[in-house]
Amino acid sequence: MSTAVQSSEEPRALPRPPWGRHLAAVAVLAVLLALLPLVLAPAQQAVAVRVLIFALLALGWNIMSGFGGMFSFGHAAYFGIGAYVSVWLLVERGVSPWIGMLAGMVAAALFAALIGFLALRYRLKGAYFALSTFAFAEMLRLLATNSDLVNRAVGYNVPLRGESSWAFIQFEPGAAEYLWIALALTVAALVVTIVFLRSRLGRFTVAVRDDEDAAAALGIPVMRTKLLTIMLSAAITSVAGTFYVQYYFFVDPDVAFGSSVSIQAILPAVIGGVATIWGPVIGAAILGPLNDLTATLLRDPPPGLEFLQGRAGLDVMVYAVLLILIVLLLPQGVYGAIRERWERR
Amino acid sequence: MSLLQVDNVSKTFRGLKAVDDVSFTVEEGSILGIIGPNGAGKTTLFNCIAGAIAPDTGTVRLSGTDVTGAAPHKVSKAGMARTFQLMKPFGSMSVLENVAVAAMAHGTSRRAATDAAADVVERVGLSRWRDARADGLPTAGLKRLELARALASRPRVLLLDEVLAGLLPAERLPVMDLLETLRSQDGVTLVFVEHIMAAVMRLSDSVLVLEQGRVLTAGSPAEVTRDPRVIEAYLGEEPAGAGS
Amino acid sequence: MTDPTREHGAPPLDRGTVSTEEPPQTTQLTTPAPGGRRRAVAVRVAAVVAIAVVALGLAYWRTGNEVVVTQAVLTGLMIGGVYGLVAMGLTLIFGVLDIVNFAHGAFLAVALYITVEMVGRFGAHPYLALLVSVPLMFLLGAAVQRFILSGAMGKPLENQLLITLGLALLIDNGLLLFYGPNPQSARLPNDTGINVFGAVVTVGRLLAFAVALVLAGLLYLLLQRTRLGTAIRAVAANDSGAQMVGIDTRRIYMATFAIGTACAGAAGVLVAPLVTIEPTTGELFNIVAFVVVVLGGMGNVVGALVGGLLIGLTEQLGALYLPGQSPLLSVFIVFVLVLFLRPQGLFGRAA
């Protein structure tokens, strides 16, 4: 055809997705962070591990709710399943948490497929969809709280082995191995995100999010695409749950399935940038140290604020303010805004 | 056997008969134009054929296979593509990605899909916008993108819902040329809804006139435009070429 | 919940919808159904009553003790009235502003602590706190809408949801910071029980129920009989249309959010004597209120009151069916069933 579309206004070109560059950045980050134990004090290392757990949770959420556009307010369900399945296998059956991690991923993915199928079959959208995910997570919390099978409200303590073991993910408190494992899991989740995005499934997922009717009309199986995306998202988040228990040696229904977990899956992604590869990681890197900072402040308040001594709640208040400000002022998140500025130049 | 066979399709919305007992057939390699005043049920008819909504009664057959009420992606897999009158781009993707994803949905590998998409993008004249975000395109670009995506799924039947509306007269000609090549070179069968009579007259082998959900008449373009009922119901309503 | 008259047949698997075919969404706040639909509503009411009767029968069969069942029904209805009041505020906000307000329970929590302060510091009767809480929460609601939420009007649903979630976290944890996690109470003086068919209802519950119903009635009258109410209903039905006839929609948004928040403020005072007061108490009410709102139909104020009573009953009877489980579990089961089978609510029209 001879004449091209006429227009005075040139739209902004979308750079070809630099998959290779993203993967290279992941590799560089992995190497840098792996060296952290050499320079960090144990307390700071604990902050780093917390950041990585946050990141893992949010990377999972971002797949379903960011790239998939299905807003989940119930990712605690998958985190909790990852935590409980692995700790149950460990405590009751002596199974290695690595196996437990895989089992947790499968269980979380299956549960996600079930509730996802129900929610999509009945065409829940927007607020209704979000509320249904929340309801299922809460139901799991209530069931766990009152079920003898998983020790009711008491939950589980991870039995101490008295020796370091890679097979059972147990090391000296503050050991570098914890950071390396958390790092490896996060890097794996990042790589999975990148591979997912450039895969057929990832392309379909974004297409379905952008316009479901058009996607279906072009031959994309909408339901299957959504379900696979939800399952992948749940599996990633469940890994965070499994690691969490092994790292903190403890889980109970509130820690695993409480609504605050769902919120912690959302916060890093929103603050860093929803539906971006790096948003959840950057958001987690902002939230983790903030958490540490507020904890220090409450332990040791500056003059004039002594009444804060030993109080709780300041950390979440800071998150909350940050969340409100980001949504109002930087709806694309920190990474999204930076990228935008970068591309404008 | 006709490539597309529509028998007695009806669809009622809240007591309103949007499509009322419509039947027609389309032979392989032909072009059918569908005209009718606003609200005649053209888009609903398209939705019934393409699986976006299930008709209340009637059947739709694609080369003999019953696809009535099948899910849209299955209809697409069976070889029927459609465009949307209200354009539905994948806004966050580039033009090339929009088209590539359609090729991918039909089993092409990622690399091959990108190559095929580049060809289609070139063919519809969107090369200059290849890497632009789809939601930044003007109407004319979005219309072409609809067409490009549908083509990338390599359909046997292509349903076009007002692809010319919103284009400047100068922009229409190349699209019409393209549609003719599609039929003559690629053997694609076309069914198109259009308000722009010049295009209907030039492209169609036969024309179906809808009014209030029913088939008013059908025939060659010349026959149809001479039909006094058509002139009264449709042509008299607004000057030919309106709606752009 | 398998109501055979439901109008939206379960859609076949995996089929896209055509959004352009759907009529524009309108919200009906209180106006009763027009004549043609009255019968359908009657059928639904009958279905709800039938389910309630069956539920009561089952509860009796399960426990074999009518006093226990009577007690559950009375307690359920009493607390259900308060749930209804909480949910009326929430549903009003949804109907007019299209905001799923996660901060509603947090506002209620603020009212709880206002009551604690009134009782603790001044030795006042807990319900005197209404005089402080309702106007204060009205102003707080107005301020929140004007200065925080107005920036997100018309933005994607997620933005508003996240902002109200942020507000909820901010308020809940602010209360935690200042009051600590220890439970507080604001008991009524001389709260005696009254014997009803062998069951016992405390004066406190009865009062809370009665005042909640009165306030709900006042809200209904406000919406139906005043100019402000008419304007609110107009904005709920069609905000651009309302704007065209000269209604200042921004003012209505602010007033509606303020009224909705004042409802939470009133409900907080009413339940303060009945619950242990912790910073997270509001969250529980928020969850229940969401369930009630969906059950009654999002944006339906009368539905919210009826839904509140039903959820109050569900909670108490559910505790009889599922002994050893949290009463919330049965609430969630009902919630999920309603979401799937009647997302438009028991009294809404099919989407």
Position C18 pLDDT exceeds 50: no
Position A2 pLDDT exceeds 70: no
**Strand (E) or helix (H) holding B7:** strand B4-13
Task: For C88-108, write each residue's pLDDT tens digit.
Answer: 999 999 988 888 899 999 999
DSSP label of B3: S
Whether residues B29 and B72 share a domain: the answer is yes
pLDDT of the residue at B100: 95
CB < 8 Å to A127, chain C: 100, 157, 161, 298
List of chains touching C (3+ CB pairs within 8 A): A, B
Give the per-residue SS3 of B93-153.
CEHHHHHHHHHHCCCCCHHHHHHHHHHHHHHCCCHHHCCEEHHHCCHHHHHHHHHHHHHHC
Enumerate the β-bridge partners of residue B81. B158
Q: How confident is the model at residue A237 (pLDDT cuts 50, 70, 90)?
A: very high
Flag if A311 and C333 touch (Cβ within 8 Å). no
Whether residues B56 and B111 share a domain: the answer is no
Task: Quote the CA–CA distance of C55 and C62 in Å, as a whole number.
Answer: 10
Whether residues B21 and B141 share a domain: the answer is no
Flag if A132 and C328 touch (Cβ within 8 Å). no
Q: How confident is the model at residue A107 (pLDDT cuts 50, 70, 90)?
A: very high
Whether residues B11 and B51 share a domain: the answer is yes
Tokens of A45: 């290392």
Of chain B residues 149-208, which have a CB less than 8 A from chain A? 149-150, 152-153, 168, 170-171, 174-175, 177-178
In chain B, % of residues over pLDDT 70 = 95
Whether residues B13 and B37 share a domain: the answer is yes
Flag if C18 and B53 touch (Cβ within 8 Å). yes
CB B155 within 8 A of CB B178: no
**DSSP states of C73-101 as a string?**
HHHHHHHHHHHHHHHHHHHHHHHHH----
CB C171 within 8 A of CB C103: yes
Q: Which residues of chain B have pLDDT under 70?
A: 234-244
Measure in Å the smallest separation between the Cα of A64 and chain C Cα atoms. 14
List of chains touching A (3+ CB pairs within 8 A): B, C
Whether residues B169 and B54 share a domain: the answer is yes
Q: How confident is the model at residue A273 (pLDDT cuts 50, 70, 90)?
A: very high
Out of A6, A209, A218, closest to residue B149 by CB: A218
Task: Tell me phi and psi for residue A156, to 5 degrees.
Answer: -130, 145
Out of B47, B69, B73, closest to residue C18 by CB: B47
* Domain encompassing residue A259: 41-152+178-344
Whether residues B175 and B54 share a domain: the answer is yes
CB < 8 Å to C18, chain B: 47, 52-53
Indicate the Cα dihedral angle C226, C227, C232, C238, nearest 10°. 130
pLDDT of the residue at B170: 87
Flag if A14 and B94 touch (Cβ within 8 Å). yes
**How many structural domains are present in chain A?**
1
A146 touches chain C (CB under 8 A): yes
CB C242 within 8 A of CB C255: no
Flag if C177 and A127 touch (Cβ within 8 Å). no
Q: Which residue of A has its CA nearest to C290?
A: A131
Task: Tell me phi and psi for residue B62, to 5 degrees.
Answer: -115, 115
pLDDT of the residue at A324: 93
CB A298 within 8 A of CB A311: yes
Residue type at A214? A
Tokens of B187: 């053997």
pLDDT of the residue at A312: 83
Task: Quote the CA–CA distance of C153 and A147 in Å, as a whole number.
Answer: 43
Q: Which residue of B has its CA nearest to C350?
A: B14
Whether residues B180 and B229 share a domain: the answer is yes
Q: How confident is the model at residue C34 (pLDDT cuts 50, 70, 90)?
A: low
Task: For B57-66, write each residue's pLDDT tens digit.
Answer: 999 999 989 9
CB < 8 Å to B52, chain C: 16, 18
Measure in Å the smallest separation between the Cα of C343 and chain B Cα atoms. 19
**DSSP states of C121-185 as a string?**
HH---GGGHHHHHHHHHHHHHHHHHHHTGGGGTTS-HHHHHHHHHHHHHHHHHHHHHHH-SS-B-
Average pLDDT estimate for A263-270: 94
Residue type at C232? I
Flag if B43 and C20 touch (Cβ within 8 Å). yes
CB < 8 Å to B51, chain C: 15-16
Q: What is the largest CA-CA distance in chain B?
A: 54
**How many structural domains are present in chain B?**
2
Q: Given B152, B173, B197, which residue is the final one in a domain?
A: B152
C178 or C322, higher pLDDT = C178
Contact residues for B210 (Cβ-Cβ < 8 A; gap 6+): B22, B34, B35, B36, B40, B41, B42, B45, B216
Position A12 pLDDT exceeds 80: no
pLDDT of the residue at B91: 93
User: What are the b/e assignments for B10-29, b being 16+ CB within 10 Å?
Assistant: bbeeeeebbbbebebebeee
Task: Tell me phi and psi for residue C201, to 5 degrees.
Answer: -120, 130
Task: For A243-260, write each residue's pLDDT tens digit.
Answer: 999 999 999 999 999 999
Measure in Å the smallest separation between the Cα of A223 and chain B Cα atoms. 10
Q: Give the CATH number of the domain where residue B24 resides.
A: 3.40.50.300
pLDDT of the residue at A127: 84
Task: Quote the CA–CA distance of C241 and C74 in Å, as a whole number.
Answer: 44
Contact residues for C297 (Cβ-Cβ < 8 A; gap 6+): C91, C303, C344, C345, C346, C347, C348
B79 touches chain A (CB under 8 A): no
Flag if B131 and A13 touch (Cβ within 8 Å). yes
Position A267 pLDDT exceeds 50: yes
Task: Quote the CA–CA distance of B3 and B157 in Å, as a whole number.
Answer: 8
Task: For A186-197, write each residue's pLDDT tens digit.
Answer: 999 999 999 999
* Domain encompassing residue B71: 1-79+155-244
**Strand (E) or helix (H) holding A37:** helix A36-39
Measure in Å the smallest separation between the Cα of A131 and chain C Cα atoms. 8
Give the per-residue SS3 of A215-274.
HHHCCCCHHHHHHHHHHHHHHHHHHHHHHHHHHHCEECHHHHHCHHHHHHHHHHHHHHCC
User: Which CATH topology does C43-341 take?
Assistant: ABC transporter involved in vitamin B12 uptake, BtuC (1.10.3470)
CB A167 within 8 A of CB A90: no
Measure in Å the smallest separation between the Cα of C226 and chain A Cα atoms. 31
Task: Quote the CA–CA distance of A237 and A82 in Å, as a whole number.
Answer: 8
CB < 8 Å to A273, chain B: none
Flag if A219 and B77 touch (Cβ within 8 Å). yes
B46 touches chain A (CB under 8 A): no
Out of A11, A214, A222, closest to residue B84 by CB: A214
Q: How confident is the model at residue C203 (pLDDT cuts 50, 70, 90)?
A: confident
Task: For B119-149, write each residue's pLDDT tens digit.
Answer: 999 999 899 999 999 998 998 899 999 999 9
Q: How confident is the model at residue C26 (pLDDT cuts 50, 70, 90)?
A: low
For residue A118, tell me if it sits in a domain: yes
Q: How confident is the model at residue C70 (pLDDT cuts 50, 70, 90)?
A: confident
For residue A22, tell me if it sits in a domain: no
For residue A146, tell me if it sits in a domain: yes
Give the per-residue SS3 of A44-77.
HHHHHHHHHHHHHHHHHHHHHHHHCCCCCCCCHH
A291 or A87, higher pLDDT = A87
Q: Give the CATH number of the domain where residue A95 resides.
A: 1.10.3470
Q: Considering the entire predicted model, what is its pTM?
A: 0.89
Task: Tell me phi and psi for residue B184, to 5 degrees.
Answer: -75, -40
Task: Quote the CA–CA distance of A98 and A169 in Å, as a whole number.
Answer: 8
Q: How far is CA C52 from the centre of its chain?
A: 20
CB A277 within 8 A of CB A196: no
Whether residues B12 and B113 share a domain: the answer is no
Flag if A219 and B110 touch (Cβ within 8 Å). no
Flag if A218 and B137 touch (Cβ within 8 Å). no
Position C140 pLDDT exceeds 70: yes
CB < 8 Å to C168, chain A: 320
Nearest to A13, CA basis, from B136, B37, C90: B136
CB < 8 Å to B54, chain C: 12, 15
pLDDT of the residue at A15: 60
Average pLDDT estimate for C220-233: 91
Q: Given B127, B152, B177, which residue is the final one in a domain?
A: B152
Distances (CA, A) of A333 to A87, A197, A330, B31, C133: 35, 19, 5, 50, 36
Position C343 pLDDT exceeds 90: no
Write down the mean pLDDT value for chain A.
90
Measure in Å the smallest separation between the Cα of A319 and chain C Cα atoms. 8
Task: Quote the CA–CA distance of B98 and A139 in Å, as a whole number.
Answer: 40
